[in-house]
Amino acid sequence: MKYDCMIVGGGLSGLALSILMARAQKKVLLIEKKKYPAHKVCGEYISNESRAFLIKLGIVPEQWHLPEINQLVFSDQRGRLIREQLDSGGFGIRRYALDEALFQIARKEGVDIRTSTTCLGYEKNMQGFKVLTNAGEFEGRILCGAFGRYAFGNFNKGQTGGENWVGVKHHLRGAFAADTIGLHLFEGGYCGMSKVDDEQYCLCYLVKAEMLKKYKGQISLLESEVLQKNPRLAEIWKEGQKVYEDPLTISNVTFYAKQAVADDVFYLGDSAGSIAPLTGNGMSNALRSAAMLEPLLNKVLNEEYSLAKAAKVYAQEWNQQMGQRIRAGRWIQYFFCQAALTPFFFFFVRNFAFVRRMIIRMTHGKSF
């Protein structure tokens, strides 16, 4: 066997797991279809539950002078505001910078990273797995899927579901609050904005695919005709200067829990299930899954656990820690983006602090 552990996908979960496994003296292969650094559609707000883990990996938010975010403002389609203190809080960082920094750490730790390499599928054999890519085949004992939300080949086979969304991201500069994350509803979607590094703000929204279709796929038309009907978003568009002319977009975005383990392949981050960004914390889920999986994989490689036992423990832990949050997130997103229900839901959230607290509690986890 050439590798102890092969990881497909070098986003947050794949990079984090590769660093931990390499530090445990294991031979790790990481396959990533893109090159670093690269932009990614993401709101770029990381909850503080991941802070200690990121420091352990080698990313110290204080050294990066990252904006600390501890206030939330939330507006409905008419621009009516709810303000809430975010007790747990978080910070902002561009994925362009974060993924690149983790990539450099992984390289230093000795991970064999193959960039510009697209995985096509895998074969299982007596000794482990063979991974098939556009740049040849690789063999290893353990296989992990950390390729994000889009299944391919025989990975996560037959797993589909949920409503179809489109994600759009801009970076802006302007005189906005540095300690606040804004979440603003519009017809058929919602938009988040918060400060990141390099004096930029990340403005990222999700819109139902059917809504964008109504505007013939024209993003700027959708933004002027639909998003800016919310006066809070109109203000942002007026005050902000775009860092890049064109936004970054992704389509076919769905939110549902998949399987944490299938066919003895371990899945991390969005490959195992994506949480609706309205309730945040997809990045923390991705990092947390790496933190949960690493000790189990090392027990398998050190002959303390069978693969079956590690799979059972990981699936149970994953369901406990992430499954419930993903389901809660999907329902909350549904209530806020369903024209007939939004006013009632907004009324309850606006008038009852305990509802707001409950939502925050249901969608945030403990520090790890």
Ligand X SMILES: Cc1cc2nc3c(=O)[nH]c(=O)nc-3n(C[C@H](O)[C@H](O)[C@H](O)COP(=O)(O)OP(=O)(O)OC[C@H]3O[C@@H](n4cnc5c(N)ncnc54)[C@H](O)[C@@H]3O)c2cc1C
| Positions in the binding site for ligand X (CB under 6 A) | 8-14, 31-34, 41-46, 118-119, 146-148, 152, 167, 204, 206, 253, 269-271, 274, 277, 280-284, 286
State which amino acid sits at residue 217.
G
Specify the residue, 118 or 224, whose C-beta has the smaller distance to ligand X.
118
Residues 6+ apart with CB under 8 A from 101: 58, 59
How does DSSP classify residue 230? Answer: S
Residue 318 CA to residue 70 CA, distance in Å, equals 27
Whose Cβ is closer to ligand X: residue 27's or residue 169's?
A: 169
User: Toward ligand X, which CB reaches closer, 165 or 305?
Assistant: 165
Q: Which of 272/305 has CB closer to ligand X?
A: 272
Q: Which is nearer to ligand X, 262 or 305 (CB)?
A: 262
User: In this complex, which beta carbon is closest to ligand X, that of residue 34 or of residue 173?
Assistant: 34
Centre a 10 Å sphere on the Cβ of residue 81 and count the other Cβ atoms it contains: 12
CB of 90 closer than 8 Å to CB of 45: yes
**Closest distance to ligand X from the beta carbon of 79 (Å):** 21
Burial of 17 (0-12, 13-18, 19+ CB in 10 A): buried
| Cβ-based burial of 238 (10 A; exposed 0-12, middle 13-18, buried ≥19) | exposed
Measured from each CB, the residue nearest to ligand X is 11
Q: How many CA atoms lie within 13 A of 203 on its CB side?
A: 23
Place of tokens 């690789």: 138
CB of 302 to ligand X, least distance (A): 25
At position 32, the amino acid (one-letter code) is E
Cα dihedral 302, 53, 270, 37 sign = negative
DSSP state of 66: P
Tokens of 279: 């309730």
Give the Cβ contact number of residue 226 at 10 Å: 20
Shortest gap between Cβ of 285 and ligand X (angstroms)? 6
Using the minimum distance from each CB to ligand X, give the nearer residue, 196 or 349: 196
